[in-house]
Protein backbone atom coordinates (compact mmCIF):
# COMPACT_ATOMS: atom_id res chain seq x y z
CA UNK A 1 0.00 0.00 0.00
CA UNK A 2 2.67 2.32 0.99
CA UNK A 3 4.62 1.26 -2.08
CA UNK A 4 1.85 2.32 -4.46
CA UNK A 5 1.41 5.50 -2.56
CA UNK A 6 5.10 6.22 -2.98
CA UNK A 7 4.95 5.43 -6.67
CA UNK A 8 1.94 7.63 -7.12
CA UNK A 9 3.54 10.42 -5.28
CA UNK A 10 6.66 9.88 -7.37
CA UNK A 11 4.71 9.99 -10.59
CA UNK A 12 2.86 13.02 -9.43
CA UNK A 13 6.16 14.61 -8.53
CA UNK A 14 7.52 13.68 -11.90
CA UNK A 15 4.49 15.22 -13.59
CA UNK A 16 4.91 18.31 -11.56
CA UNK A 17 8.57 18.34 -12.37
CA UNK A 18 7.82 18.04 -16.09
CA UNK A 19 5.22 20.80 -15.81
CA UNK A 20 7.66 23.00 -13.93
CA UNK A 21 10.39 22.26 -16.48
CA UNK A 22 7.98 23.02 -19.34
CA UNK A 23 6.98 26.20 -17.62
CA UNK A 24 10.62 27.09 -17.17
CA UNK A 25 11.34 26.42 -20.86
CA UNK A 26 8.37 28.52 -21.80
CA UNK A 27 9.56 31.16 -19.43
CA UNK A 28 13.00 30.98 -20.96
CA UNK A 29 11.54 31.06 -24.44
CA UNK A 30 9.31 33.89 -23.46
CA UNK A 31 12.30 35.70 -21.97
CA UNK A 32 14.26 35.23 -25.13
CA UNK A 33 11.33 36.31 -27.29
CA UNK A 34 10.73 39.55 -25.51
CA UNK A 35 14.26 40.90 -26.09
CA UNK A 36 13.84 40.04 -29.76
CA UNK A 37 10.70 42.11 -29.92
CA UNK A 38 12.42 44.85 -27.96
CA UNK A 39 15.41 44.76 -30.24
CA UNK A 40 13.14 44.89 -33.25
CA UNK A 41 11.37 47.87 -31.78
CA UNK A 42 14.67 49.55 -30.95
CA UNK A 43 15.94 48.81 -34.45
CA UNK A 44 12.81 50.32 -35.83
CA UNK A 45 13.36 53.39 -33.68
CA UNK A 46 17.02 53.65 -34.68
CA UNK A 47 16.06 53.14 -38.27
CA UNK A 48 13.55 55.94 -38.03
CA UNK A 49 16.21 58.23 -36.51
CA UNK A 50 18.84 57.29 -39.10
CA UNK A 51 16.57 58.45 -41.88
CA UNK A 52 17.93 61.92 -41.14
CA UNK A 53 21.40 60.88 -42.25
CA UNK A 54 22.34 61.90 -45.77
CA UNK A 55 22.71 59.40 -48.56
CA UNK A 56 26.43 60.05 -48.86
CA UNK A 57 27.14 58.92 -45.28
CA UNK A 58 25.02 55.76 -45.68
CA UNK A 59 26.73 55.05 -48.98
CA UNK A 60 30.14 55.41 -47.43
CA UNK A 61 29.25 53.13 -44.52
CA UNK A 62 27.79 50.59 -46.92
CA UNK A 63 30.94 50.78 -49.03
CA UNK A 64 33.13 50.27 -45.99
CA UNK A 65 31.00 47.32 -44.94
CA UNK A 66 31.29 45.86 -48.44
CA UNK A 67 35.03 46.36 -48.42
CA UNK A 68 35.29 44.70 -45.01
CA UNK A 69 33.40 41.77 -46.42
CA UNK A 70 35.52 41.68 -49.54
CA UNK A 71 38.87 41.84 -47.66
CA UNK A 72 39.29 38.21 -46.94
CA UNK A 73 42.99 37.50 -47.54
CA UNK A 74 45.38 34.87 -46.41
CA UNK A 75 48.39 35.75 -44.26
CA UNK A 76 50.64 35.38 -47.32
CA UNK A 77 48.48 37.80 -49.34
CA UNK A 78 48.52 40.29 -46.46
CA UNK A 79 52.32 40.13 -46.25
CA UNK A 80 52.60 40.69 -49.99
CA UNK A 81 50.22 43.65 -49.88
CA UNK A 82 52.12 45.28 -47.00
CA UNK A 83 55.43 44.66 -48.75
CA UNK A 84 54.17 46.37 -51.92
CA UNK A 85 52.91 49.31 -49.87
CA UNK A 86 56.28 49.62 -48.11
CA UNK A 87 58.16 49.51 -51.42
CA UNK A 88 55.89 52.22 -52.85
CA UNK A 89 56.63 54.46 -49.87
CA UNK A 90 60.35 53.85 -50.30
CA UNK A 91 60.12 54.71 -54.02
CA UNK A 92 58.32 58.00 -53.28
CA UNK A 93 60.90 58.93 -50.64
CA UNK A 94 63.77 58.19 -53.03
CA UNK A 95 62.17 60.26 -55.80
CA UNK A 96 61.73 63.21 -53.44
CA UNK A 97 65.30 62.85 -52.20
CA UNK A 98 66.59 62.73 -55.79
CA UNK A 99 64.66 65.89 -56.66
CA UNK A 100 66.11 67.72 -53.62
CA UNK A 101 69.64 66.58 -54.48
CA UNK A 102 69.18 67.64 -58.10
CA UNK A 103 67.99 71.09 -56.98
CA UNK A 104 70.96 71.47 -54.62
CA UNK A 105 73.39 70.28 -57.29
CA UNK A 106 71.93 72.84 -59.72
CA UNK A 107 72.46 75.60 -57.17
CA UNK A 108 76.02 74.49 -56.47
CA UNK A 109 76.75 74.16 -60.19
CA UNK A 110 75.39 77.66 -60.77
CA UNK A 111 77.56 79.10 -58.02
CA UNK A 112 80.64 77.25 -59.23
CA UNK A 113 79.99 78.44 -62.76
CA UNK A 114 79.75 82.05 -61.55
CA UNK A 115 82.96 81.61 -59.54
CA UNK A 116 84.77 80.30 -62.61
CA UNK A 117 83.46 83.15 -64.77
CA UNK A 118 84.46 85.65 -62.09
CA UNK A 119 87.99 84.26 -61.90
CA UNK A 120 88.27 84.45 -65.68
CA UNK A 121 86.93 87.99 -65.74
CA UNK A 122 83.96 86.99 -67.91
CA UNK A 123 81.12 87.55 -65.45
CA UNK A 124 78.86 90.53 -66.15
CA UNK A 125 75.66 90.96 -64.18
CA UNK A 126 73.22 93.13 -66.10
CA UNK A 127 71.68 95.46 -63.53
CA UNK A 128 72.28 98.93 -64.97
CA UNK A 129 68.95 99.12 -66.80
CA UNK A 130 67.12 98.19 -63.60
CA UNK A 131 68.58 101.06 -61.56
CA UNK A 132 66.31 103.95 -60.67
CA UNK A 133 67.51 107.51 -60.21
CA UNK A 134 67.32 108.32 -56.48
CA UNK A 135 65.09 111.00 -55.09
CA UNK A 136 67.32 113.92 -53.98
CA UNK A 137 65.47 113.90 -50.66
CA UNK A 138 66.73 110.36 -50.01
CA UNK A 139 70.41 111.32 -50.35
CA UNK A 140 72.06 111.79 -46.95
CA UNK A 141 75.03 114.03 -46.16
CA UNK A 142 77.32 113.05 -43.27
CA UNK A 143 79.49 115.89 -41.98
CA UNK A 144 82.37 115.69 -39.53
CA UNK A 145 85.59 116.50 -41.38
CA UNK A 146 86.88 120.07 -41.34
CA UNK A 147 88.62 119.80 -44.71
CA UNK A 148 88.02 117.96 -47.97
CA UNK A 149 87.29 114.22 -47.78
CA UNK A 150 89.98 112.43 -49.81
CA UNK A 151 89.14 108.71 -49.50
CA UNK A 152 86.68 106.24 -48.04
CA UNK A 153 85.93 102.52 -47.73
CA UNK A 154 82.80 100.52 -46.89
CA UNK A 155 83.09 97.56 -44.53
CA UNK A 156 82.27 94.14 -46.06
CA UNK A 157 79.10 93.83 -43.96
CA UNK A 158 78.00 97.29 -45.24
CA UNK A 159 77.26 98.49 -41.71
CA UNK A 160 80.05 101.07 -41.45
CA UNK A 161 82.03 103.53 -43.57
CA UNK A 162 85.54 104.80 -42.90
CA UNK A 163 86.51 108.18 -44.31
CA UNK A 164 89.68 110.29 -44.18
CA UNK A 165 90.44 113.88 -44.96
CA UNK A 166 93.02 116.56 -45.53
CA UNK A 167 92.52 117.45 -41.85
CA UNK A 168 94.45 114.19 -41.14
CA UNK A 169 91.52 112.62 -39.27
CA UNK A 170 89.77 109.26 -39.78
CA UNK A 171 86.09 108.80 -38.93
CA UNK A 172 84.08 105.60 -38.62
CA UNK A 173 80.41 106.09 -39.48
CA UNK A 174 77.36 103.90 -38.95
CA UNK A 175 75.50 103.58 -42.25
CA UNK A 176 71.99 103.11 -40.91
CA UNK A 177 71.94 105.99 -38.45
CA UNK A 178 74.63 108.18 -40.01
CA UNK A 179 76.25 108.81 -36.64
CA UNK A 180 79.95 108.86 -35.84
CA UNK A 181 81.07 105.68 -34.15
CA UNK A 182 84.71 106.62 -33.58
CA UNK A 183 87.14 109.31 -34.65
CA UNK A 184 90.92 109.20 -34.88
CA UNK A 185 91.92 112.83 -34.68
CA UNK A 186 94.64 114.24 -36.88
CA UNK A 187 97.78 115.70 -35.38
CA UNK A 188 99.87 118.72 -36.21
CA UNK A 189 103.13 118.55 -38.06
CA UNK A 190 106.00 117.93 -35.64
CA UNK A 191 103.92 115.86 -33.19
CA UNK A 192 104.64 112.51 -34.87
CA UNK A 193 106.53 111.13 -31.88
CA UNK A 194 103.66 111.47 -29.42
CA UNK A 195 100.54 111.48 -31.62
CA UNK A 196 98.81 108.22 -32.50
CA UNK A 197 97.49 108.87 -35.97
CA UNK A 198 98.31 110.86 -39.08
CA UNK A 199 99.89 114.29 -39.10
CA UNK A 200 99.75 114.67 -42.89
CA UNK A 201 96.92 114.63 -45.42
CA UNK A 202 95.47 111.12 -45.67
CA UNK A 203 95.28 110.28 -49.40
CA UNK A 204 94.16 106.64 -49.50
CA UNK A 205 92.75 103.80 -47.45
CA UNK A 206 91.81 100.12 -47.81
CA UNK A 207 90.01 97.48 -45.75
CA UNK A 208 90.63 93.73 -45.86
CA UNK A 209 87.89 91.51 -47.31
CA UNK A 210 87.19 89.99 -43.86
CA UNK A 211 86.90 93.44 -42.29
CA UNK A 212 89.74 92.81 -39.86
CA UNK A 213 92.35 95.37 -40.93
CA UNK A 214 92.14 98.99 -42.08
CA UNK A 215 95.14 100.55 -43.85
CA UNK A 216 95.65 104.30 -44.39
CA UNK A 217 98.38 106.18 -46.27
CA UNK A 218 99.39 109.85 -46.00
CA UNK A 219 101.52 112.63 -47.43
CA UNK A 220 104.23 111.87 -44.86
CA UNK A 221 105.16 108.57 -46.62
CA UNK A 222 103.55 106.48 -43.86
CA UNK A 223 101.17 103.53 -43.98
CA UNK A 224 99.26 102.89 -40.77
CA UNK A 225 97.45 99.63 -39.96
CA UNK A 226 94.43 99.71 -37.68
CA UNK A 227 92.11 97.15 -36.16
CA UNK A 228 88.89 98.00 -37.99
CA UNK A 229 86.53 96.93 -35.21
CA UNK A 230 88.11 99.09 -32.49
CA UNK A 231 90.21 101.60 -34.47
CA UNK A 232 93.21 100.50 -32.42
CA UNK A 233 96.58 101.30 -34.01
CA UNK A 234 98.59 98.16 -34.75
CA UNK A 235 101.57 98.90 -37.02
CA UNK A 236 103.22 101.63 -39.06
CA UNK A 237 104.91 100.70 -42.34
CA UNK A 238 107.74 102.89 -43.58
CA UNK A 239 109.72 102.55 -46.78
CA UNK A 240 108.14 104.79 -49.39
CA UNK A 241 110.12 107.90 -50.25
CA UNK A 242 107.15 110.08 -51.09
CA UNK A 243 103.41 110.40 -50.44
CA UNK A 244 101.45 107.15 -50.33
CA UNK A 245 98.69 107.57 -52.92
CA UNK A 246 97.12 104.11 -53.29
CA UNK A 247 96.32 101.10 -51.07
CA UNK A 248 94.49 97.82 -51.67
CA UNK A 249 94.18 94.47 -49.90
CA UNK A 250 94.19 91.39 -52.07
CA UNK A 251 90.77 89.78 -51.62
CA UNK A 252 90.73 86.76 -49.33
CA UNK A 253 94.17 87.56 -47.90
CA UNK A 254 95.96 90.09 -45.71
CA UNK A 255 98.47 90.94 -48.43
CA UNK A 256 98.60 94.72 -48.87
CA UNK A 257 99.68 96.57 -52.03
CA UNK A 258 100.73 100.21 -51.82
CA UNK A 259 101.55 102.84 -54.44
CA UNK A 260 103.40 106.08 -54.02
CA UNK A 261 104.44 109.30 -55.70
CA UNK A 262 107.95 107.79 -55.57
CA UNK A 263 106.81 105.71 -58.62
CA UNK A 264 107.04 102.36 -56.83
CA UNK A 265 104.68 99.57 -55.82
CA UNK A 266 105.32 97.78 -52.53
CA UNK A 267 103.92 94.50 -51.21
CA UNK A 268 103.37 93.95 -47.47
CA UNK A 269 102.16 91.09 -45.28
CA UNK A 270 100.01 92.60 -42.54
CA UNK A 271 99.67 89.40 -40.47
CA UNK A 272 103.45 89.18 -40.17
CA UNK A 273 103.97 92.97 -39.99
CA UNK A 274 106.46 92.47 -42.81
CA UNK A 275 107.67 94.06 -46.02
CA UNK A 276 107.78 91.67 -49.02
CA UNK A 277 109.04 93.38 -52.18
CA UNK A 278 109.11 96.51 -54.36
CA UNK A 279 108.21 96.87 -58.05
CA UNK A 280 109.28 99.70 -60.37
CA UNK A 281 108.15 100.81 -63.79
CA UNK A 282 106.12 104.03 -63.80
CA UNK A 283 107.80 107.18 -65.09
CA UNK A 284 105.76 109.58 -62.96
CA UNK A 285 103.97 109.74 -59.62
CA UNK A 286 101.43 106.93 -59.20
CA UNK A 287 98.01 108.39 -58.40
CA UNK A 288 95.80 105.34 -57.75
CA UNK A 289 95.88 101.56 -57.20
CA UNK A 290 93.35 98.73 -57.07
CA UNK A 291 93.25 94.91 -56.93
CA UNK A 292 90.84 91.98 -56.58
CA UNK A 293 91.48 88.27 -55.93
CA UNK A 294 94.33 87.52 -58.30
CA UNK A 295 97.94 88.09 -57.31
CA UNK A 296 98.10 91.27 -59.34
CA UNK A 297 97.17 94.93 -59.10
CA UNK A 298 96.40 97.82 -61.45
CA UNK A 299 97.80 101.35 -61.15
CA UNK A 300 97.29 104.77 -62.71
CA UNK A 301 100.57 106.44 -63.65
CA UNK A 302 99.64 110.08 -63.45
CA UNK A 303 101.42 112.13 -66.10
CA UNK A 304 103.22 109.20 -67.69
CA UNK A 305 99.69 108.59 -69.11
CA UNK A 306 99.78 104.82 -68.60
CA UNK A 307 97.64 102.26 -66.85
CA UNK A 308 99.68 99.27 -65.70
CA UNK A 309 98.75 95.78 -64.58
CA UNK A 310 101.35 94.25 -62.28
CA UNK A 311 101.75 90.47 -62.06
CA UNK A 312 103.24 90.20 -58.61
CA UNK A 313 104.46 86.57 -58.71
CA UNK A 314 106.14 86.96 -62.13
CA UNK A 315 107.34 90.50 -61.31
CA UNK A 316 106.16 91.64 -64.73
CA UNK A 317 103.83 94.39 -65.92
CA UNK A 318 101.45 95.16 -68.78
CA UNK A 319 101.43 98.75 -70.02
CA UNK A 320 98.34 100.43 -71.52
CA UNK A 321 98.19 103.77 -73.35
CA UNK A 322 95.14 105.85 -74.23
CA UNK A 323 94.69 108.98 -72.13
CA UNK A 324 95.92 112.33 -73.41
CA UNK A 325 96.91 113.70 -70.00
CA UNK A 326 97.29 112.74 -66.34
CA UNK A 327 95.39 109.63 -65.22
CA UNK A 328 94.08 110.33 -61.73
CA UNK A 329 91.92 107.31 -60.87
CA UNK A 330 91.49 103.64 -61.81
CA UNK A 331 89.43 100.71 -60.55
CA UNK A 332 88.92 97.09 -61.58
CA UNK A 333 85.47 96.07 -62.82
CA UNK A 334 86.39 92.38 -62.75
CA UNK A 335 89.59 90.38 -63.08
CA UNK A 336 89.96 91.25 -66.78
CA UNK A 337 88.52 94.77 -67.13
CA UNK A 338 89.09 98.15 -65.52
CA UNK A 339 87.89 101.74 -65.75
CA UNK A 340 90.01 104.89 -65.54
CA UNK A 341 89.54 108.65 -65.56
CA UNK A 342 91.86 111.60 -65.95
CA UNK A 343 92.15 115.37 -66.14
CA UNK A 344 91.62 115.13 -69.91
CA UNK A 345 87.95 114.50 -69.10
CA UNK A 346 88.04 111.01 -70.62
CA UNK A 347 86.44 107.95 -69.09
CA UNK A 348 87.93 104.72 -70.50
CA UNK A 349 87.33 100.98 -70.15
CA UNK A 350 90.24 98.59 -70.64
CA UNK A 351 90.78 94.88 -71.10
CA UNK A 352 94.00 93.18 -70.06
CA UNK A 353 94.08 91.56 -73.49
CA UNK A 354 94.24 94.88 -75.36
CA UNK A 355 96.76 97.71 -75.14
CA UNK A 356 94.25 100.39 -76.12
CA UNK A 357 90.92 101.26 -74.43
CA UNK A 358 87.92 99.17 -75.46
CA UNK A 359 85.80 102.30 -75.28
CA UNK A 360 86.33 105.94 -74.31
CA UNK A 361 83.88 108.75 -73.55
CA UNK A 362 85.40 112.20 -74.03
CA UNK A 363 84.19 115.14 -71.98
CA UNK A 364 82.33 112.66 -69.78
CA UNK A 365 81.45 115.45 -67.32
CA UNK A 366 81.24 118.32 -69.76
CA UNK A 367 83.37 121.46 -69.99
CA UNK A 368 84.58 123.80 -67.29
CA UNK A 369 82.04 126.42 -66.35
CA UNK A 370 84.42 128.49 -64.24
CA UNK A 371 85.83 131.73 -65.62
CA UNK A 372 89.47 131.42 -66.61
CA UNK A 373 89.33 127.60 -66.94
CA UNK A 374 89.23 125.87 -70.29
CA UNK A 375 88.79 122.32 -71.44
CA UNK A 376 86.83 119.37 -70.03
CA UNK A 377 86.05 118.82 -66.36
CA UNK A 378 88.61 116.61 -64.64
CA UNK A 379 87.48 113.16 -63.64
CA UNK A 380 88.67 112.84 -60.06
CA UNK A 381 87.15 109.46 -59.08
CA UNK A 382 85.67 106.29 -60.56
CA UNK A 383 83.92 103.29 -59.04
CA UNK A 384 82.72 99.94 -60.38
CA UNK A 385 80.10 97.57 -59.03
CA UNK A 386 82.22 94.44 -59.30
CA UNK A 387 81.29 91.86 -61.95
CA UNK A 388 78.44 93.99 -63.27
CA UNK A 389 77.73 96.47 -66.06
CA UNK A 390 77.48 99.50 -63.74
CA UNK A 391 80.14 102.13 -63.06
CA UNK A 392 80.16 105.66 -61.62
CA UNK A 393 82.39 108.68 -62.12
CA UNK A 394 82.85 111.93 -60.23
CA UNK A 395 84.20 115.35 -61.08
CA UNK A 396 83.59 118.92 -59.91
CA UNK A 397 80.61 119.72 -62.15
CA UNK A 398 78.12 119.29 -59.29
CA UNK A 399 77.12 115.72 -60.20
CA UNK A 400 77.99 112.04 -59.91
CA UNK A 401 77.35 110.22 -63.19
CA UNK A 402 76.28 106.59 -63.44
CA UNK A 403 77.01 104.61 -66.60
CA UNK A 404 75.98 101.39 -68.24
CA UNK A 405 78.67 99.25 -69.87
CA UNK A 406 77.72 97.64 -73.15
CA UNK A 407 77.89 93.90 -73.69
CA UNK A 408 81.48 92.77 -73.47
CA UNK A 409 82.37 96.24 -72.07
CA UNK A 410 82.47 97.60 -75.61
CA UNK A 411 80.48 100.75 -74.96
CA UNK A 412 79.40 103.27 -72.33
CA UNK A 413 75.96 104.83 -72.02
CA UNK A 414 74.96 107.46 -69.43
CA UNK A 415 72.21 106.30 -67.07
CA UNK A 416 71.49 109.26 -64.79
CA UNK A 417 73.33 111.86 -62.74
CA UNK A 418 73.06 112.58 -59.02
CA UNK A 419 73.45 116.20 -57.82
CA UNK A 420 76.54 116.53 -55.62
CA UNK A 421 78.30 119.88 -55.29
CA UNK A 422 82.08 119.94 -54.86
CA UNK A 423 85.07 117.81 -55.85
CA UNK A 424 84.05 114.16 -55.80
CA UNK A 425 87.37 112.77 -54.56
CA UNK A 426 86.27 109.19 -53.85
CA UNK A 427 83.46 106.87 -54.92
CA UNK A 428 82.58 103.41 -53.62
CA UNK A 429 79.71 100.99 -54.29
CA UNK A 430 78.55 98.73 -51.49
CA UNK A 431 79.13 95.04 -52.25
CA UNK A 432 75.41 94.43 -52.67
CA UNK A 433 74.96 97.49 -54.88
CA UNK A 434 72.29 98.91 -52.57
CA UNK A 435 74.03 102.26 -52.20
CA UNK A 436 76.88 104.40 -53.49
CA UNK A 437 79.01 106.64 -51.27
CA UNK A 438 80.74 109.80 -52.51
CA UNK A 439 83.52 111.54 -50.58
CA UNK A 440 83.29 115.25 -51.38
CA UNK A 441 85.40 118.31 -50.61
CA UNK A 442 85.96 121.91 -51.54
CA UNK A 443 89.35 120.95 -53.00
CA UNK A 444 90.80 118.23 -55.21
CA UNK A 445 92.39 115.48 -53.13
CA UNK A 446 95.81 115.85 -54.81
CA UNK A 447 96.17 119.62 -54.70
CA UNK A 448 94.70 123.07 -54.25
CA UNK A 449 94.28 124.40 -57.77
CA UNK A 450 91.03 126.12 -56.80
CA UNK A 451 88.23 125.86 -54.24
CA UNK A 452 84.49 125.43 -54.56
CA UNK A 453 83.35 127.53 -51.61
CA UNK A 454 79.70 126.49 -51.71
CA UNK A 455 80.61 122.79 -51.42
CA UNK A 456 80.37 120.90 -48.13
CA UNK A 457 83.12 118.58 -46.92
CA UNK A 458 81.47 115.26 -46.15
CA UNK A 459 80.02 111.96 -47.34
CA UNK A 460 76.97 111.59 -49.55
CA UNK A 461 75.15 108.26 -49.21
CA UNK A 462 73.21 107.67 -52.43
CA UNK A 463 70.59 104.86 -52.33
CA UNK A 464 70.28 102.70 -55.46
CA UNK A 465 66.95 100.99 -56.08
CA UNK A 466 66.22 98.38 -58.75
CA UNK A 467 63.08 97.53 -60.66
CA UNK A 468 63.65 93.80 -61.09
CA UNK A 469 66.17 91.07 -60.44
CA UNK A 470 69.39 91.24 -62.43
CA UNK A 471 70.46 88.75 -65.08
CA UNK A 472 73.89 87.31 -65.77
CA UNK A 473 75.67 86.81 -69.08
CA UNK A 474 78.95 85.21 -70.04
CA UNK A 475 81.32 87.30 -72.10
Q: Domain locations in the chain?
A: 75-120, 126-474
Q: What is 36-85 written as a DSSP string?
A: HHHHHHHHHHHHHHHTTS-HHHHHHHHHHHHHHHH----HHHHHHHHHHH
Name the nearest CA neighbour of 461 among 39, 212, 140: 140
Which position has the higher pLDDT, 102 or 270?
270
Provide the 3-class DSSP secondary structure of residue 255.
strand
Which position has the higher pLDDT, 165 or 110?
165
CB neighbour burial string for 21-38, b if at least 16 within 10 angstroms, e if fewer = eeeeeeeeeeeeeeeeee
Q: What percent of the chain has pLDDT over 90?
A: 63
When pLDDT is cut at 50, 70 and 90, the band that residue 10 belongs to is very low
Sheet with strand 213-218: strands edge to edge: 202-207, 213-218, 223-227, 232-237
Name the nearest CA neighbour of 159 among 143, 140, 146, 172: 172
Provide the 3-class DSSP secondary structure of residue 9.
helix
Strands 264-269 and 274-280, bridge-based pairing: antiparallel
pLDDT of 125 reads 85
pLDDT of 25 reads 46
- Interior CA angle at 118 toward 117 and 123, to 5°? 65
Residue 160 has pLDDT above 90, yes or no: yes
pLDDT of 17 reads 45
pLDDT (tens digit, 9 = 90+) per residue, 229-273? Answer: 999 999 999 999 999 999 999 999 999 999 999 999 999 999 999
In this prediction, residues 437-460 reach a mean pLDDT of: 93
Element (H, E) at 227: strand 223-227
pLDDT of 370 reads 65
Residue 113 has pLDDT above 50, yes or no: yes
Name the nearest CA neighbour of 154 among 146, 163, 145: 163
In this prediction, residues 43-72 reach a mean pLDDT of: 51
Residue 18 has pLDDT above 60, yes or no: no
- Computed over its alpha carbons, how large is the radius of gyration of the chain? 44
When pLDDT is cut at 50, 70 and 90, the band that residue 43 belongs to is very low
When pLDDT is cut at 50, 70 and 90, the band that residue 425 belongs to is very high
Residue 158 has pLDDT above 50, yes or no: yes
Residue 313 has pLDDT above 50, yes or no: yes
pLDDT of 57 reads 57
Name the nearest CA neighbour of 181 among 211, 147, 144, 156: 144
Contact indicator for 379, 361 with CB cutoff of 8 Å: no
Contact indicator for 366, 418 with CB cutoff of 8 Å: no
Q: What is the largest CA-CA distance in the chain?
A: 172
For residue 209, the Cα-to-chain-centroid distance in whole angstroms is: 13
pLDDT of 474 reads 54
Indicate the range of 36-45, 121-130, 167-176, 324-333 predicted with least confidence.
36-45
pLDDT of 436 reads 97
Task: For CA atoms 331, 336, 342, 346, give the dihedral sign.
Answer: negative
pLDDT of 81 reads 84
Residue 461 has pLDDT above 80, yes or no: yes
Residue 172 has pLDDT above 50, yes or no: yes
**CB under 8 A, 24+ apart: contacts of 409-414:** 409/124, 409/333, 409/337, 409/349, 409/351, 409/358, 409/359, 409/475, 410/358, 410/359, 411/359, 412/347, 412/349, 412/359, 412/361
* Residues ≥6 apart with Cβ < 8 Å to 158: 175, 430, 431, 432, 434, 435
Residue 38 has pLDDT above 90, yes or no: no
When pLDDT is cut at 50, 70 and 90, the band that residue 2 belongs to is very low
Q: What kind of fold does domain 126-474 have according to CATH?
A: Methylamine Dehydrogenase; Chain H (2.130.10)
Q: How far is CA 305 from CA 322, 368, 391, in A?
A: 7, 22, 21
pLDDT of 53 reads 47
Cβ neighbours of 444 (radius 10 Å): 21
CA–CA dist 288, 361 (Å, integer): 20
The DSSP call for residue 250 is: P
Indicate the range of 123-127, 221-225, 245-249 predicted with least confidence.
123-127
Residue 16 has pLDDT above 70, yes or no: no
CA–CA dist 164, 206 (Å, integer): 11
Highest mean pLDDT among 101-105, 157-161, 403-407: 157-161
Contact indicator for 164, 150 with CB cutoff of 8 Å: yes
pLDDT of 363 reads 93
pLDDT of 7 reads 41
Indicate the range of 32-41, 80-89, 123-132, 390-399 predicted with least confidence.
32-41
Amino acid sequence: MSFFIKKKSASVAAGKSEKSAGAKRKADQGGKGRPKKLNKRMNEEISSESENENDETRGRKQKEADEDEEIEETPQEKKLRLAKLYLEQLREEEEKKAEDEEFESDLIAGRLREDVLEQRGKLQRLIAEELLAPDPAEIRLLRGHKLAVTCLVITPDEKHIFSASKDCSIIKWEVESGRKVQKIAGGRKGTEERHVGHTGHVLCMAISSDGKYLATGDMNKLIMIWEAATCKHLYTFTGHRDAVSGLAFRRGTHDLYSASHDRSIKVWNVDENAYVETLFGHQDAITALDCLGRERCVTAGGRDRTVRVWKIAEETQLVFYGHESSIDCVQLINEEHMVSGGDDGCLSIWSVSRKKPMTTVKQAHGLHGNAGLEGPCWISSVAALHNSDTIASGSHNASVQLWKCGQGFRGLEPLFSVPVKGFVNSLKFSNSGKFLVAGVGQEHRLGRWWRIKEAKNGLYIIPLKRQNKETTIEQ
